[in-house]
Amino acid sequence: MSQSPLRIGLLGLGTVGTGTARVLAENADSLTRRAGRPLAIVAAAVRDLDAERDCDTSGMRLERDAVAVATAADVDVVVELMGGTGAAREAVLAALEAGKPVVTANKALIAEHGPEIFEQARAHEQPVAFEAAVAGGIPIIKAVREGLAGNQITEINGLINGTSNFILSKMASEGLDFAPVLAEAQQLGYAEADPTYDVEGIDAAHKLAILAMLAFELPLALDRIRTRGVGQVEAEDLEAAAELGYRIKHLAVARRSERGVELCVEPTLLPEQSYLAKIDGVMNGVIVAGSAVGSAGFYGPGAGALATASAVVADLIDVARGRVLPEPGPGKTLPFVDPHTVVSGHYLRVQVLDEPGVLQTLTGLLADAQVSIESLVQKELGTPAGWAQIVMLTHEVSLGTIDQVLVRLRDLPCVQGEPVHFRVSARED
């Protein structure tokens, strides 16, 4: 066993950076055996040199200049944990140009600038490892690239943002509205002060773009992902879904068929007994469907200092052993399915005048559009008086047809406000 340490330049000593430093220090002996050599942080780029940190920095050289750390002569591998896509991109490209492998947990960096970074990596024959960029402590990147390499992967379904899963779980279990639960998530540290990336599905879309790239050998396709946020889900939707035997989850889907590739992140009704429907709180879950394995499920913490550090350190061991896979290439040219042609069940909730003939009007409108109703529930509303809620589940029909139905519903004099619509998944696994 070589005793020459793998010298690490750490870019960022925030939550994940300090977690990584702690894991490396606390598990030093076992990690040395697994890596074949010691793993040692020799330098770290930080914003504030004097800030207190929840890790031992006595053996590190602290600098403000990330590029200087990334290109330092005494650094063998660069670990980028800064976040963002500006300074992080500059430092990662500089590290690769200097001939240094890169480990990153930055999904936005990979999803938005992956082609440029991978091209630089190939040009300088250096690996970029990014296990920690998707689903935190779940080794889903390694599973897709290595463990399931013998399969033609046809579909990935996942809950890959812990903040949105916490919000929907809390709303469902306690009958609460979105705003107070979001505020609680922020107080607990599960959501940022600006929660846009999480609650609007942008974070999950970044992760889905990476998974689809690896599973289907695609170019990164962030701009082809249909994305809807969890702020559109109300307490009455979660209650109605439960009465009908479903849970609403912020589901990320990558599906390949003869027609092409479908990519979406949106609130979706899942059968209550399905694997993903049972995953609550900040936990993540992913199901991968493959030609040989059938369906394989993965579950675990999607974020947090030590969970994410677990994935970062696993990548460092691979770098030390020289077993990181080559960078993804430009990818196959595959068509993308127009989301309006995708067929599924649908959930519709409409507030209507509680008077004779209204229900017949609604069902007649759906019948005219050749939309078949699977279930229908009507509830009287205490406020405002004289109004009722109609909740319908449809049989499978295209999204384009439902969009047309929604336009016609809005125009009905008996309908108040905006009709609510979510997709329904029939998957039981």
SS (H, E, C) 156-219: EEEECCHHHHHHHHHHHHHCCCHHHHHHHHHHCCCCCCCCHHHHCCHHHHHHHHHHHHHHHCCC
Length of the chain: 429
Catalytic residue among 142, 207, 332, 379: 207
Sign of torsion over alpha carbons 419, 204, 118, 86: positive
Spatial distance between the Cα atoms of 413 and 402, rounded to a whole number of angstroms = 19
Spatial distance between the Cα atoms of 62 and 71, rounded to a whole number of angstroms = 14
Spatial distance between the Cα atoms of 247 and 105, rounded to a whole number of angstroms = 30
Spatial distance between the Cα atoms of 283 and 160, rounded to a whole number of angstroms = 8
Is 207 a catalytic site residue?
Answer: yes
Spatial distance between the Cα atoms of 203 and 207, rounded to a whole number of angstroms = 7
Contact (Cβ atoms closer than 8 angstroms) between residue 240 and residue 171: no
- Taking phi over 0 as left and psi of -120 to 50 as alpha, with beta for the rest, 402 belongs to alpha
- Token pair, residue 293, equals 């394995």
User: For residue 77, how many C-alpha atoms fall within 13 Å in the half-sphere facing its CB?
Assistant: 29
Spatial distance between the Cα atoms of 141 and 286, rounded to a whole number of angstroms = 11
141 Cβ contact list (under 8 Å, min separation 6): 130, 131, 133, 134, 210, 211, 214
**Residues that are catalytic:** 207
